[in-house]
Structure 1
Amino acid sequence: MERIEGRYVTLSHCWGKIEFLHLATTTLPRFEEGVELEALLKTFRHAFDISCRLGIRYIWIDSLCILQDSEDDWLYQSAQMDQIYNNSLCNISATAAENSTEGLYADRHEFQTWTDDIDLKTDGIPGRDDSRSIQKCTILDLAFWERIVDNAAVNRRGWVLQERLIAPRVLHFCHNQIAWECWEKEFAESRPDNLTLHQLIGGSVMDGNRLKSMIPTFNGRLLREERLRKSMHGKPWEIDEHLINAMPSIYCFEIWKRIVEVYSKALLTKPSDKLIALAGIAKLMSRRIMNGNDENYVAGMWRTHIEGQLLWRVDPVVRRGSFIFHSERPADYRAPTFSWAAVDTNEGIKYGDATDYGLSPDKYKFIAVDRVKIEQKTRDSFGVIVSGYIVVKGVLKKIAIFDSKRDCYTRYHWQLKKDGQILGETYKMIYLDAPKSDCPGILDYGSGNGFVDGRAYCLPVALDRVTSRSELDGSPQELVCLLLQSVKGEHGTFRRIGLTKISRYHSRSQEEVFELSKFGEEANMPCPWDPIAKKHTIRIIC
């Protein structure tokens, strides 16, 4: 095929459920001869019009540029997404359109784009200049960008997130106005002089996070401060500044964690695309985090500080007094269970505080990842995963997980087991990854067994919410643990089923939390035990 050079734009759009003309082996001859403009969907025609208005001759549209019935072409092209979007002049986004028949141009009402300016009478307000009784103010809509862009139809699609983040510029066609987004600024017709993003945390208005910005020392630091403030309920005096003032590489991890939290909520027509649809962003981040060392990418995470990255969770959803679990594991293998990519959930996954323990003293972490092995379908380190595992050194504890049907505050809880007996405290801060898929054997409390075959284990990983103040005054430090299930017939092999937190407030004594890592019966676990290092060797797989 003839090589074409020149500037080009790209298009992000919702495919929808309708059938439309697209590139395939059967339609390739027709495309080579030339397709009538009227044969294409309205969104495509509008995108061509915008491209022409910009003076750009070429446009890249996924459904028209990738052979949709060729797995080989799909694998090849999907591996090029970082180059395709990053090298484009601009990405045209059909932001508000539910499908490609709706187009980009919407009916507009000019008054809807007016800014909300008001004249506020300030007489009698303490601290106000009496000479100016009328103050011109602008009403801030903290949810403006979230409403017209972040939560719009196209940005709920999984593939679109990387298109939006990788492209240097995005032109959003929203329901009532056009918005602009680049790596440095956001604008909208109703905010033409730069859109200032804000958010409310702990009763205080703070600068908002710019999803598209990937500047570690600014946006990464802001994300880190936001996460720590949320964990301390917005109390800045609770935070040790050294936790905020980290190395630039740590700020990159903060950006990655936010991307994963947002992406894990997105919709995919093919769930098997979970990691592929993020590969372009991963390659971009690899160049920033790992200086292009692709081997550090591990199924949606990074080898550096991987111990903390294992501590993602799926929060339970409570509606009308009932616990609802939408999360489930896909029928077809996609990623090892230690990866967030192995779970589908409409609510997305969440990261806690204990995610960069490479910077913290060893006394705050209780595991070490000794070995990582990921096998891809192709040579692409960011491609489709065939199999994978990690080998962890830590101290395993046998537990029983129960269904708390009579408890209105939690659906599940767990307790320690020793010699087949239930003992110790009842722990209710439990986050199961996909209980309907993983835990069909959970029984009522009265059975005394928990899992029907007793294969549940707890692995203490790290202390969460570690601040200088918490060490000085004994404020709560949560012990974060992985919940594992042993694999039948494979000694030392486990699969992840969830995460749990143990607060000092919820234990019989403050010491019990830390004694978990010293509790007896170590040599009787279904995995190798090193009596010198006093650690188990645990292999976490499918």
Structure 2
Amino acid sequence: MTEETRSLAQTNFDQVKFNLDWNSLTALSGLEGGLVDGDEVYHLGRLVNDEIQTDFLREGLETCKDHHGEACERPKNVLKTSLTAEEPPDLRFLRVIDVEQKCLVPLPAGGTYVAVSYTWSPEPYTSLLKENIRDLEDVSGIEIDRLPPTISDAMEVVAMLGERYLWADRLCIIQDDPRDKRIQINRMDIVYRYAALTIVAAGSSSEGTSDPGLQGLRPGTRKISQATATIRGLQFVETQSYLDETISRSRWYSRAWTFQEHLLSKRHLVFTRTRVVFFCAKD
């Protein structure tokens, strides 16, 4: 029998369906109103691990796909054929990262992809340029250790989710080509609206800081201190701050274009400093 755990502070479930770090994903569907014990309402508490429980990353997405139907799916008339002149013009120039072969490719016919929404850090990581585009299109042309941690971590998450393609502006837009930038920027709504999922990197809170990556994915990237207490046989655990407060304090939230990406996407996997949360259009 699992010992009952109560929280010391209220937790906000209004905007979140699946908190993917929790020990029991199947129990989450009844938590919006809290756990009822007699005439009092309690909210579930938990100790947050230093690393993400990766099994739940894929399970949250699969649950949405299996049960939410068209409400969370992209339009079906967009990616049915190869990227040719007959393809809708908004997608003719879409290039993505193949996370298996570690190179840039055009999105295949009928292919699905994951997008990542993040803010750039000041370090001189690899970007797509006119001079290196051919190198990055070669198999294994993308050197993982020269990428921003957020993008390399996002590639790992894409593989964990059973997907193959990732869209990240740094590597999918030619940064020193004004024409390509103009074309791609004018299609940002298409990119995020039609993504199977958007990974949101909301873990950094300060301007000009190093890229922390997707915190909790790698050892040592997420450190959490929680108070615990046992009172009359019941274990109490200090809860984390409200999710909306955590996100609103992040550097990601302060940027107009990242907020737009958030509004356009139908599914989100949000990485903050202390947790990972999946939510979608049905929430």
Question: What is the 5 A alignment of 1:428-467?
Answer: none
Q: Is the alpha carbon distance of 1:14 and 1:87 closer, same or farther for their aligned partners in structure 2, counting shifts above 3 Å?
A: same
- The letter for the 2-side match of 1:83 is I
Contact (CA 8 Å) 2:122, 2:210: kept in 1 or not?
Answer: no
SS at match of 2:121: coil
Moved more, 50-59 or 143-152: 143-152
For structure 1, the 5+ residue unaligned runs are 120-136, 186-542
- The letter for the 2-side match of 1:58 is Y
Contact (CA 8 Å) 1:169, 1:183: kept in 2 or not?
Answer: yes
Which residue does 1:182 correspond to in 2? Answer: 280
Which residue does 1:301 correspond to in 2? Answer: none
Q: What are the superposed Cα offsets for residues 316-342 of structure 1, whole Å, 9 maximum, x if unpaired?
A: xxxxxxxxxxxxxxxxxxxxxxxxxxx
Q: Displacement, 1:91? A: 0.8
2:149 pairs with 1:51? no
2:169 pairs with 1:62? yes
2:253 pairs with 1:163? no
Contact (CA 8 Å) 1:13, 1:94: kept in 2 or not?
Answer: yes
The structure with the larger Rg is 1
Contact (CA 8 Å) 2:226, 2:239: kept in 1 or not?
Answer: no
Question: What is the 5 A alignment of 1:246-285?
Answer: none
Question: What is the 5 A alignment of 1:383-394?
Answer: none
Which residue does 2:271 correspond to in 1? Answer: 173
**Aligned counterpart in structure 1 of residue 120 of structure 2, from 15, 31, 36:** 15
- The letter for the 2-side match of 1:51 is V
Contact (CA 8 Å) 1:23, 1:67: kept in 2 or not?
Answer: yes
Q: Is the alpha carbon distance of 1:113 and 1:160 closer, same or farther for their aligned partners in structure 2, counting shifts above 3 Å?
A: farther
Q: Displacement, 1:81? A: 1.2
- The letter for the 2-side match of 1:101 is D
Contact (CA 8 Å) 2:227, 2:238: kept in 1 or not?
Answer: no
Which residue does 2:252 correspond to in 1? Answer: 154
Higher normalized contact order (CA 8 Å, seq sep 6+, divided by chain length): 2
CA–CA separation in structure 2 for the residues paired with 1:31 and 1:21: 10
Which residue does 1:101 correspond to in 2? Answer: 211
Q: Is the alpha carbon distance of 1:113 and 1:105 closer, same or farther for their aligned partners in structure 2, counting shifts above 3 Å?
A: farther
CA–CA separation in structure 1 for the residues paired with 2:133 and 2:214: 26
Q: What are the superposed Cα offsets for residues 442-465 of structure 1, whole Å, 9 maximum, x if unpaired?
A: xxxxxxxxxxxxxxxxxxxxxxxx
**Aligned counterpart in structure 2 of residue 81 of structure 1, from 172, 188, 191:** 188
Q: Displacement, 1:29? A: 2.0
Q: Displacement, 1:2? A: 5.3
SS at match of 1:181: strand
SS at match of 1:17: coil
CA–CA separation in structure 2 for the residues paired with 1:49 and 1:28: 22
Contact (CA 8 Å) 2:227, 2:237: kept in 1 or not?
Answer: no
Q: What are the superposed Cα offsets for residues 45-66 of structure 1, whole Å, 9 maximum, x if unpaired?
A: 1111111000010000001001
2:111 pairs with 1:4? no
SS at match of 2:174: coil
Q: Displacement, 1:151? A: 2.3
Following TM superposition, the consecutive aligned residue runs of length 4 or more in structure 1 with deviations greater than 6 angstroms are 137-141
Percent sequence identity is 27
SS at match of 2:180: helix
Q: Is the alpha carbon distance of 1:113 and 1:80 closer, same or farther for their aligned partners in structure 2, counting shifts above 3 Å?
A: farther
- The letter for the 1-side match of 2:265 is A
Moved more, 49-58 or 14-23: 14-23
SS at match of 2:130: coil
More strand by share: 1
- Give TM-score scaled by structure 1 length: 0.28
CA–CA separation in structure 2 for the residues paired with 1:37 and 1:113: 37
For structure 2, the 5+ residue unaligned runs are 1-104
Q: Displacement, 1:150? A: 2.2
CA–CA separation in structure 1 for the residues paired with 2:116 and 2:246: 18
Q: Is the alpha carbon distance of 1:111 and 1:24 closer, same or farther for their aligned partners in structure 2, counting shifts above 3 Å?
A: same
- The letter for the 2-side match of 1:153 is R
Which residue does 2:146 correspond to in 1? Answer: 39
CA–CA separation in structure 2 for the residues paired with 1:40 and 1:82: 25
Q: Is the alpha carbon distance of 1:91 and 1:100 closer, same or farther for their aligned partners in structure 2, counting shifts above 3 Å?
A: farther
- How many residues align? The count is 167
Q: Is the alpha carbon distance of 1:50 and 1:113 closer, same or farther for their aligned partners in structure 2, counting shifts above 3 Å?
A: farther
Output the aligned Cα RMSD: 3.2
Q: Displacement, 1:148? A: 1.1
- Give TM-score scaled by structure 2 length: 0.51
Contact (CA 8 Å) 1:9, 1:56: kept in 2 or not?
Answer: yes
CA–CA separation in structure 2 for the residues paired with 1:23 and 1:113: 45
Q: Displacement, 1:174? A: 0.7
CA–CA separation in structure 2 for the residues paired with 1:160 and 1:113: 34
Q: What are the superposed Cα offsets for residues 205-235 of structure 1, whole Å, 9 maximum, x if unpaired?
A: xxxxxxxxxxxxxxxxxxxxxxxxxxxxxxx
